[in-house]
Chain A
């Protein structure tokens, strides 16, 4: 079903962008009141790109090669906007929101791929 697929790629790219944002000093400071530890930059970036990649895979798997990329790019824009809004207004929520999106995404997977 297209809504579930779109929500799935939104959730995955949201978590991905949140991880990428937290790998940047400025936003990590806003969320944790300290710069990002060197050791965590790599893993956050890796997690971030994985989220975006999984989001792409989910879009293609659910919507094919014609609609998939369109849905994916749309979901990237929506997810990034949400991350920016959270950083601007409630930066301390970012980590939990990103983590909460993952189990929701897991719920959406069967709905998106089978529904």
Chain B
């Protein structure tokens, strides 16, 4: 099983590291999005009027869409986020509207925290490919966790053990064990619930066996969605969306979070109001469906049974929407420990195979070293570049959001290539110093270019990430002389002899 743990962890390690880092950052997805759209600030809101205006915008933009989705403004996100799509399988268009005018908001064009969130499970690949690759890596991680538990026989005896003053291999093994074991409940939870959140793509066979291709029927019977309505075939005369928002708010006891319009160009169009999840672990949105033309209630989402609710709790645990600030911080810490477990495992692989004496390093070892440096130290450079590009790119730039993403990948690739040129003794120290400085630059750039008080906490957090990377760099710089000392000593003795 040690063999299985080592090699399964190695082959997917680099992708897993990126998944863990971007997923952990996604715990602060809305905060990142806020920071990246500094023009938006809280204003007095009228969600019903905003919905009517958004509906008018969408009717102008794509009257014959398969669906529209309107995320109503809230104190947290004061803009109206709309999506529209010509077919169920996309493409999905998106715009951010000013709730007061119903026109695209005068905000810098950015994908905000959503880019990191989607990268976490789609890797910026076509969604189907990305999701299968991420899921395959997650399955391998599950296997690596199980085989790791079997391999690590002294889990309890070594629970608190981190011998940083012994050999490099011992130190890395201890570090790998500590971050792996202490957050083991989180690791097991996050990988299994991650697979469950993608199960509609990965494991459709239960639904297929019982419902055939009628997936929507399963969702309706399970209590996950309201049943769909058949199109009427002719154009309808829909009510203003705001009227339905008002009805939904009266019926549901609170303003809905999202309004979903299906077949908006058809007389049989339905408007489904999605409410915020009730306080609890489960990721289940109450829903009420209305006829778009008359505003009469068609259906409410059913009560989910125990198994479906268990699945919803798993999804809820994975996304941690329920977690208030302090608990969220612990989830973040656990996610960081997951990334650290992957990273330390990757480094351990190279340390354990470091050639003794003057043997040259083989191609495999050099490749793994390069990928380790390029991923573990390169990805943070990309993240910092993504945030810096948000502040530094000119507002009017064509396809500005795409340029931010390009900055992310270009900086990552450049950092990885540069790391391969560093002298090996100082490679880690240099490779970690670069993202450290880049993250430290974020608060400075923000203070100069935007300088809003509400971003102080975010900027402080970026500074803290920079300092952490800097400490890592210092640690890497200091390790080398310690490890090199006995070698020099024996060398001088040989010379004396």
Residues of A that sit less than 8 Å from B by CB: 2-3, 6-7, 17, 20-21, 24, 26-27, 66-67, 70-71, 73-78, 80-81, 83-84, 87-88
- B: contact size bracket: 20 to 34
Are B334 and A67 neighbours in the complex by a CB distance under 8 Å?
no
Quote the shortest CB–CB distance from A14 to chain B (angstroms): 12
Whole-angstrom CA separation of A84 from B337 in the bound complex: 13
> Does B146 belong to the interface (CB within 8 Å)?
no
Closest chain B residue, CB of each to CB of A83? B160
Set of chain A residues within 8 Å of B325, measured between Cβ atoms = 3
Q: A66-B280, A70-B281 are in contact. Are A80 and B160 (CB under 8 A)?
A: yes
B324→A2 contact, CB < 8 A? yes
Shortest distance between the CB of B191 and any CB in chain A (Å): 15
Complex alpha-carbon distance, A77 and B161, angstroms: 15
Question: Is there contact, CB below 8 Å, between A71 and B164?
Answer: no
A67 pairs with B281, CB closer than 8 A: yes
Q: Which residues of B contact A17 (CB under 8 A)?
A: 160
Q: Which of A2, A26, A78 contacts B161 (CB 8 A)?
A: A26
Q: What separation, in Å, do the CA atoms of A34 and B185 have in the docked complex?
A: 33
Instruction: Write out the residue numbers on chain B whose beta carbons fall within 8 Å of the beta carbon of A2.
Output: 324, 326-327
Q: Are A74 and B327 in contact (CB under 8 A)?
A: yes
Q: How far is the CA of A83 from the CA of B322 in the complex (A)?
A: 28
Which single residue of chain B is at the shortest CB-CB distance from A63?
A: B327
CA distance in complex: A75, B329 (Å): 11
For the complex, give the distance between the alpha carbons of A1 and B307 in Å.
31
Q: Which residues of A contact B160 (CB under 8 A)?
A: 17, 20-21, 24, 27, 80, 83-84, 87
Q: What separation, in Å, do the CA atoms of A17 and B325 have in the docked complex?
A: 24
Chain B residues near A67 (CB-CB < 8 A)? 281, 322, 327
Q: B412 near A: Cβ within 8 Å?
A: no
Contact B327 A88 (CB under 8 A): no
When the two chains form their complex, are residues B333 and A78 in contact, meaning their CB atoms are under 8 A apart? Answer: yes
A60 to chain B, nearest CB (A): 14
B318 shortest CB reach to chain A, Å: 12
The answer to whether A74 and B281 touch across the interface, beta carbons within 8 angstroms, is: no
Answer whether residue B42 sits at the interface, using C-beta atoms and an 8 A cutoff.
no
- Cβ-defined partner of A84 (8 Å) among B182, B280, B317, B331: B182
**Cα distance A83–B186 in the bound complex, in angstroms:** 18
Contacts of A74 in B (CB 8 A): 186, 327, 330-331, 334
Shortest CB distance A110–B (Å): 18
B162-A88 in contact (CB<8A): yes
Instruction: Tell me the dominant secondary structure on chain B's binding face.
Output: helix
Complex contact B330–A75 (CB within 8 A):
yes
* Known contacts A3-B326, A77-B182, A87 near B280 by CB under 8 Å: no
Closest partner residue, chain B, to A6 (CB atom): B326
Q: Please measure, in the bound complex, the distance between the C-alpha atom of A67 and the C-alpha atom of B317, giving whole angstroms.
A: 10
Q: How far is the CA of A111 from the CA of B280 in the complex (A)?
A: 22
Q: Which residue of A is nearest B183, CB measured?
A: A77
Give, as a whole number of angstroms, the nearest-CB distance from A29 to chain B. Answer: 12
Q: Chain B residues near A80 (CB, 8 Å)?
A: 159-160, 182
Q: Judging by beta carbons under 8 Å apart, are A84 and B324 in contact?
A: no
**How near does chain A come to B170, taking the closest CB pair, in angstroms?**
13
Q: How far is the CB of B482 from chain A (nearest CB, A)?
A: 15
B422-459, CB < 8 A from A: none
In the assembled complex, how far is the CB of residue A23 from the closest CB belonging to chain B, in whole angstroms? Answer: 11
Across the interface, do A77 and B317 meet the contact criterion of CB distance under 8 Å?
A: no
Say yes or no: A66 contacts B330, CB within 8 Å: no
User: A98 to chain B: closest CB distance in Å?
Assistant: 13
A46 to B183, CA, bound (A): 23
Report Cα–Cα, A83/B160, bound state, in Å: 7
> In the complex, A21→B162 CA distance in Å?
12
Residues of A within 8 A of B324 (CB): 2-3
CB-nearest residue of chain A relative to B179? Answer: A81
The answer to the question of B157 belonging to the interface, with a C-beta cut-off of 8 Å to chain A, is yes
B178 on interface, CB distance cutoff 8 Å: yes
What's the Cα separation between A73 and B333 when bound, in Å?
12
**CB-based contact A81/B326 at 8 Å:** no
Instruction: List residues of chain B with CB within 8 A of the CB of A21.
Output: 159-160
CB-CB contacts below 8 Å: B150-164 with A? 157, 159-162, 164
A-side contacts of B330, CB under 8 Å: 6, 71, 74-75, 77-78
In the assembled complex, 18 residue pairs joining A and B whose CB atoms fall closer than 8 Å, in A order, are A6-B326, A24-B160, A26-B161, A27-B161, A70-B317, A71-B330, A74-B327, A74-B330, A74-B331, A77-B185, A77-B333, A77-B337, A78-B333, A84-B160, A84-B178, A87-B160, A88-B162, A88-B164
